[in-house]
């Protein structure tokens, strides 16, 4: 036995040596890229990195999930070099921890919508990598045909559509309330639809106080009207609460237990890979709140920022990733929109991309991402989760009290 | 040695001598003290940051006082404290259940054949893996979740198992699944060590049933109960990654525990005094339980006889009647089947394509294949695997090199009794200290040294964190050496080396237990790497965590990554389990 044991030890030693010779020991400084993506998105990003060709430095992808903002709170030495920030609003709070973009990249961050977020003190601190259209509703056309309805033209049309579906025995909505941002996306679309100026005011305020805006309450009431309709939510409130956003997509397209789901463009790969019938996929955009009003378009996205202190390698990586062709592998995978580009996508995403570039549209940046902690897990996410629990499936009578409770909960968060 | 005369069977049994073989004050050369130096240095890796945290907790605006502890008045923190205390109860419950299972398997011997490996597997996998497995089993859609499918079939509808309140069942199942094997094995080893002459005497005196339990088993197992309770309570109070992976985001607030609360506070730029105070509270809870546990360890009520000659088969416990054996075998197989089911679910899920795994459960016949493994490999699984291997190997090697001489010094190295007691007390306190007590200052120090993200520093921290437990275990094992052997060795010309050689030969189980447990612990670690190295390193568990963010649609790749991550610790623990248990139980002997 000793000989085999020796062989085993030898093999282990060789393995260790080969391991050490690479960057496994962490001694060779890799460019660390923090991302919030996981699953298909993470895989697609690895494809993008792979497509960059041979690099002279190792690249390490650090998936941080919803806690990506912690990337900045770390002391300089531990900070990831490049952060794909899904809440560009954080740049305003953290620009002191960031390095400005190199001059040749800076213009990319100075385009409309992004400029307010990314330019501080005359310097550009980020460039958009990925744009998200957060006002898309995916649905199954076959159900609509069967019941004899069309995608809604405005809000009350949508409520009527839900009623028609429920009466026909079809559950209208799946809601991935396990992810707080799914709820805020819903509310933001309504608020942007009924009171764009209030929305902008909150988005640009130094100390936003949503609870002091009556229109915020009005948006909650409208939202409550949709969520409180009996039988509107697949699985009811309890199941919605434990559903993450991909689960809601699977409910609609995989298990076919609901007709539609509010989900951004990046839902596309999940929709396509889990759809029971690949031809039964439709998409409409969030309807205007009243006939004739402009449709709300909430825009989100991931921006590339460089954490200070900066190295030549990370600057090089950002430059390569910012090249227009770099993201082609991800566009081919689906569920990826690039700012100001309208070609190369699937038909559904092309429509979304066109709406994003359409002049005169009611385009605004994702509000909860601009509110900082107020819009996050212990702020708006929690308030809306409790709101959903209070109204879900209980009928319109439950709405007024729930709105009052949500407003006072919001006040509490604002002052803490 | 047996003797038979006039139909009477006599047997000579050696009994351990307590106390030193030679009276008087021994000569104390200074040399052995150097053996403790590396351990002292390594312990400073923890001791200094702990000191910093304690000072920080008590200093508010440059004033010394309890100001920072007002944080406990915060309803969210109070809720977390409550939940952490609830977890302590869960740990005690697990100990009780484990004890009854061990007793059952002791009374019905055939139970163990299949049960043993079935119980070891969950202990070998990481908390993250068992959390992910149970989240799959309790998935709210009947197409995917086994339990939901069963309850829907039985009752027409199913409660939402991951929903409000009910997620506790999922958490507790995962916790129990992980730890019960450890508890049962240790209790069973303790029960097996009860000398038959004692059992027979008690039986002759008519002490049976419950009375026997109170008079014999419970008092005899007190040291093991101490070790087991201690490990479980520490694990329960440290619960962190389990909540992160099992509880859906919308429910995390109600599942909040102190460890999580601390982490949120420390990442949201909250006042560092406040987070330090939270760490101290967490530590106080663990230390209180730890000290009670150690009191149990200290009691020297019983000196276990050492069998000099193996017992003759006829004198062993009588073979149970066939009916009892069959019953035991049946019960054992049934429990074992239930126990391996989660592992089966995990492997079967991994063997489905990502689409099928996300759409339908592990039992679905379609979509079988290895594409989930390919998907997991595409997010850097193998690089993380290699880096985890490096960290675990380095930590284990450093730990052994430092812990063995230290344990020898404390056990037989001639340390003055008072110094020895202080050293042991420090090690006990360090062994139960939660990561939150030292994480923040330690990572600042590592960053300042320019070692952020290096695997070497992480391995050192792991070795430092594992040192107290290793020294405690090894010391007990060394100390339970027959004093005659040690005194002979001590008197010989090559004193220390001879003792070390004896130790090496006689106390291998404890050494192997320490090495295997440390390796598995570091391999499965999430929290230390996460809190100390931050986002810089990507050990295996971080990859798993990243994959698990969109849980059910990624369940194929998550399961595949979990299976790959679990192969090494499962194989390691399955092959060394008997030795590990032997090592752990020698350690618990007074």
Task: Report whether A175 contacts A257 (CB < 8 A).
Answer: no
The CA distance from A411 to B75, in Å, is 17
User: Residues A221, A227, A231, A236: what is their CA dihedral angle, to the nearest 10 degrees?
Assistant: -140
Q: Do B249 and A70 touch (CB under 8 A)?
A: no
- From chain A, the residues in CB contact with B545 under 8 A are 63, 65
- Using one digit for the tens of pLDDT, what is the confidence trace for A25-73? 555 677 889 888 888 888 899 999 999 988 888 888 888 777 676 677 6
Nearest to B249 among A178, A249, A255 (CB): A178
**pLDDT score for B306:** 37
Query: Looking at CA atoms only, how far is residue B585 from chain A in angstroms?
Result: 28
Q: What value does the mean pLDDT of chain A take? A: 88
Instruction: Examine residue A309 and say whether the peptide bond preceding it is cis (omega within 30 degrees of 0).
Output: yes
The token duo for B244 is 């992160």
**pLDDT score for A22:** 47
With cut-offs at 50, 70 and 90, classify the pLDDT of residue B442. Answer: confident
CA-based end-to-end distance of chain B: 26
What DSSP string runs through B314-335? GGSSPPPPHHHHHHHHHHHHHH
- Using one digit for the tens of pLDDT, what is the confidence trace for A293-311? 999 999 998 999 998 888 8
| Cβ neighbours of residue A283 closer than 8 Å, sequence gap 6 or more | A136, A137, A138, A139, A348, A351, A352
If one compares B518 and B508, the residue with the highest pLDDT of the two is B518
Q: Do A46 and B453 touch (CB under 8 A)?
A: no
Q: Do B454 and A25 touch (CB under 8 A)?
A: yes
| B327: phi then psi, degrees, rounded to nearest 5 | -60, -45
- Using one digit for the tens of pLDDT, what is the confidence trace for B158-215? 899 998 889 999 999 999 999 998 898 888 888 887 777 777 888 788 877 788 888 8
Say which DSSP state A174 is in: -
Q: What value does the mean pLDDT of chain B take? A: 81
> Given a cut of 80, is residue B311 above it in pLDDT?
no
**pLDDT score for B573:** 93
Residue reference for tokens 């697990």: B94
With cut-offs at 50, 70 and 90, classify the pLDDT of residue B315. Answer: low
Q: Do A242 and B535 touch (CB under 8 A)?
A: no
* Closest residue in B to A62 (Cα–Cα): B535
- Using one digit for the tens of pLDDT, what is the confidence trace for B361-401? 899 998 899 999 998 888 778 888 888 898 999 999 999 99
The answer to whether B543 contacts chain A (CB < 8 Å) is yes
With cut-offs at 50, 70 and 90, classify the pLDDT of residue B258. Answer: confident
Nearest to A242 among B162, B443, B545 (CB): B162
Which of A69, A82, A29, A75 lies closest to A307 in space, CA to CA? Answer: A82
With cut-offs at 50, 70 and 90, classify the pLDDT of residue B496. Answer: low
If one compares B532 and A185, the residue with the highest pLDDT of the two is A185
With cut-offs at 50, 70 and 90, classify the pLDDT of residue B357. Answer: very high
Q: Do A63 and B250 touch (CB under 8 A)?
A: no
**Partner A, chain B 240-259, Cβ-Cβ below 8 Å:** 248-253
Nearest to B453 among A16, A78, A179 (CB): A78
* Closest residue in B to A32 (Cα–Cα): B536
- Using one digit for the tens of pLDDT, what is the confidence trace for B455-479? 888 899 999 999 998 988 888 777 7
**pLDDT score for B136:** 94
If one compares B483 and A325, the residue with the highest pLDDT of the two is A325
The answer to whether B148 contacts chain A (CB < 8 Å) is no
Task: Report whether A104 contacts A323 (CB < 8 A).
Answer: no
> Given a cut of 50, is residue A324 above it in pLDDT?
yes
> Given a cut of 60, is residue A16 above it in pLDDT?
no
**pLDDT score for B279:** 86
- Using one digit for the tens of pLDDT, what is the confidence trace for A110-156? 887 888 889 888 899 999 999 999 999 999 999 999 999 999 999 99
Number of H helices, E strands in chain A: 19, 12
> Given a cut of 90, is residue B487 above it in pLDDT?
no
* Closest residue in A to B383 (Cα–Cα): A24
> Given a cut of 50, is residue B303 above it in pLDDT?
no
- From chain A, the residues in CB contact with B555 under 8 A are none
The answer to whether B553 contacts chain A (CB < 8 Å) is yes
Inter-chain Cβ pairs, chain A and chain B, closer than 8 A:
179
- From chain A, the residues in CB contact with B359 under 8 A are 250, 254-255, 274
**pLDDT score for B270:** 63
> Given a cut of 50, is residue B518 above it in pLDDT?
yes
- From chain B, the residues in CB contact with A42 under 8 A are 379, 546-547
> Given a cut of 90, is residue A402 above it in pLDDT?
yes
> Given a cut of 70, is residue B492 above it in pLDDT?
no
The CA distance from B351 to B365, in Å, is 11
Three-class secondary structure of residue B395 per DSSP: helix
Lowest mean pLDDT among A51-60, A208-217, B475-484, B540-549: B475-484
Q: Which run of H or of E encompasses B569?
A: helix B555-588
Give the total residue count for chain B: 590
Distances (CA, A) of A195 to A222, A237, A289, A405, A409: 13, 28, 10, 22, 22
| Cβ neighbours of residue B93 closer than 8 Å, sequence gap 6 or more | none
> Given a cut of 90, is residue A19 above it in pLDDT?
no
Choose from B77, B159, B553 for mutation: most chain A CBs within 10 A: B553
**pLDDT score for B310:** 44
Strands (E), A341-386: 362-365
The burial of A73, by beta-carbon neighbours within 10 Å (0-12 exposed, 13-18 middle, 19 or more buried), is given as: middle
The CA distance from B553 to B547, in Å, is 10
**pLDDT score for A126:** 92
- From chain A, the residues in CB contact with B128 under 8 A are none
The token duo for A60 is 């390490």
Query: Looking at CA atoms only, how far is residue A241 from chain B in angstroms?
Result: 6
Q: Do A39 and B386 touch (CB under 8 A)?
A: no
If one compares A157 and B297, the residue with the highest pLDDT of the two is A157
Mean pLDDT of B279-290: 81
């Amino acid at each position: 036995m000793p000989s085999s044991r020796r062989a085993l030890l030898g093999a282990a030693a060789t393995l260790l040596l080969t391991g050490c010779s690479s960057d496994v020991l962490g001694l060779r400084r890799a460019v660390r890229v923090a991302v919030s993506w996981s699953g298909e998105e993470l895989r697609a990003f690895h494809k993008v990195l792979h497509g960059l060709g041979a690099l002279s430095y190792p690249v390490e992808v650090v998936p941080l999930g919803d806690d990506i903002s912690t990337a900045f709170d770390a002391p300089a030495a531990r900070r990831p070099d490049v952060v794909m920030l899904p809440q560009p609003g954080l740049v305003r709070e953290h620009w002191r921890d960031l390095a400005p973009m190199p001059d040749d990249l800076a213009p990319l961050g100075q385009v409309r919508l992004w400029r307010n977020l990314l330019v501080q003190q005359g310097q550009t601190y980020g460039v958009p990598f990925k744009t998200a259209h957060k006002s898309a509703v995916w649905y199954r056309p076959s159900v609509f045909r069967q019941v004899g309805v069309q995608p809604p033209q405005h809000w009350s049309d949508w409520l009527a559509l839900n009623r028609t579906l429920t009466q026909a025995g079809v559950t209208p909505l799946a809601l991935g309330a396990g992810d707080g941002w799914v709820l805020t996306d819903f509310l933001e679309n309504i608020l942007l639809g009924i009171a764009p100026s209030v929305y902008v005011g909150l988005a640009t305020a130094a100390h936003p106080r949503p609870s002091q805006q009556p229109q915020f309450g009005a948006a909650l009431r409208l939202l409550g009207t949709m969520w409180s309709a009996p039988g509107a939510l697949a699985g009811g409130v309890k199941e919605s609460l434990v559903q993450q956003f991909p689960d809601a997509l699977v409910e609609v397209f995989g298990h076919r237990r609901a007709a539609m789901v509010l989900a951004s463009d990046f839902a596309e790969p999940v929709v396509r890979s889990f759809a029971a019938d690949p031809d039964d996929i439709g998409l409409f955009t969030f309807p205007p709140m009243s006939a004739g009003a402009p449709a709300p378009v909430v825009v989100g996205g991931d921006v590339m920022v460089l954490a200070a202190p900066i190295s030549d390698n990370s600057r090089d990586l950002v430059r390569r990733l910012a090249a227009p062709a770099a993201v082609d592998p991800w566009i081919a995978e689906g569920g990826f929109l690039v700012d100001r580009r309208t070609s190369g996508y699937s038909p559904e995403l092309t429509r979304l991309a066109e709406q994003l570039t359409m002049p005169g549209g009611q385009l605004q940046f994702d509000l909860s991402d601009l509110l900082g902690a107020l819009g996050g897990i212990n702020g708006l996410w929690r308030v809306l989760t409790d709101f959903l629990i209070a109204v879900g499936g209980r009928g319109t009578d439950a709405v007024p009290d729930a709105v009052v409770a949500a407003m006072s909960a919001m006040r509490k968060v604002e002052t803490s | 040695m047996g003797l038979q005369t006039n139909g009477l069977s006599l047997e000579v049994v050696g009994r351990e001598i307590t106390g030193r073989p030679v009276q008087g004050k021994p000569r104390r050369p200074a040399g052995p003290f150097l053996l403790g130096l590396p351990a002292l240095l390594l312990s400073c890796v923890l001791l200094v940051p702990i000191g910093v945290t304690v000072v920080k907790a008590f200093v508010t605006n440059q004033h010394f006082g309890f100001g920072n502890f007002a944080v406990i008045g915060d309803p969210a923190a109070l809720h977390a404290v409550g939940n952490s205390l609830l977890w302590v109860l869960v740990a005690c419950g697990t100990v009780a259940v484990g004890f009854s299972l061990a007793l059952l398997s002791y009374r019905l011997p055939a139970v163990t054949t299949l049960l043993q490996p079935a119980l070891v597997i969950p202990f070998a996998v990481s908390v993250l893996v068992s959390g992910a497995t149970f989240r799959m089993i309790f998935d709210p859609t009947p197409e995917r979740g086994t339990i939901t499918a069963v309850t829907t079939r039985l009752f027409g509808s199913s409660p939402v198992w991951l929903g409000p309140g009910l997620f506790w069942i999922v958490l507790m199942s995962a916790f129990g699944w992980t730890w019960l094997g450890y508890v049962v094995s240790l209790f069973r080893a303790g029960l097996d060590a009860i000398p038959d002459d004692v059992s027979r005497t008690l039986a002759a005196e008519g002490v049976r049933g419950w009375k026997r339990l109170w008079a014999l088993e419970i008092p005899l197992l007190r040291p093991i109960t101490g070790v087991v309770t201690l490990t479980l309570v520490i694990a329960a109070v440290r619960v962190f990654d389990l909540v992160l992976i099992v509880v859906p985001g919308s429910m995390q607030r109600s599942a909040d525990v102190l460890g999580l609360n601390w982490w949120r506070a420390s990442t949201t730029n909250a006042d560092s005094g406040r987070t330090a105070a939270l760490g101290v509270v967490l530590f106080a809870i663990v230390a209180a339980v730890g000290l009670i546990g150690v009191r149990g360890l200290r009691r020297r009520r019983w000196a276990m006889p050492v069998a000099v000659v193996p017992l003759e088969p006829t004198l062993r416990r009588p073979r149970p009647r066939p009916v009892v054996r069959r019953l035991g075998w049946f019960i054992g197989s049934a429990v074992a089947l239930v126990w391996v089911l989660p592992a089966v679910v995990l492997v079967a899920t991994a063997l489905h394509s990502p689409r099928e795994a996300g759409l339908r459960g592990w039992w679905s016949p379609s979509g079988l294949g290895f594409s989930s493994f390919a998907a997991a490999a595409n997010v850097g699984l193998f690089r993380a695997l290699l880096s985890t291997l490096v960290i675990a190997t380095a930590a284990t090697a450093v730990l052994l090199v430092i812990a063995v001489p230290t344990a020898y010094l404390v056990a037989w190295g001639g340390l003055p009794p008072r110094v020895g007691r202080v050293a042991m007390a420090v090690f006990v306190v360090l062994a139960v200290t939660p990561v939150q007590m030292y994480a923040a200052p330690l990572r600042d120090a590592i960053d300042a040294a320019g070692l952020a993200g290096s695997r070497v520093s992480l391995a050192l921290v792991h070795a430092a964190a594992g040192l107290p437990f290793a020294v405690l275990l090894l010391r007990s094992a060394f100390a339970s050496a027959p004093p005659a052997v040690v005194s002979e060795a001590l008197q010989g010309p090559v004193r220390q080396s001879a003792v070390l050689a004896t130790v090496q030969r006689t106390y291998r189980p404890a050494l192997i237990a320490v090495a295997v447990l440390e390796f598995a612990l570091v391999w499965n670690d999430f929290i230390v790497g996460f809190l100390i190295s931050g986002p810089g390193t990507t050990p295996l568990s971080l990859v798993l965590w990243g994959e698990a963010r969109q849980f059910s649609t990624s369940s194929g790749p998550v399961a595949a990554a979990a299976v790959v991550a679990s192969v090494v610790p499962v194989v390691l623990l399955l092959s060394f389990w008997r030795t590990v248990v032997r090592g752990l139980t020698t350690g618990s002997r007074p």
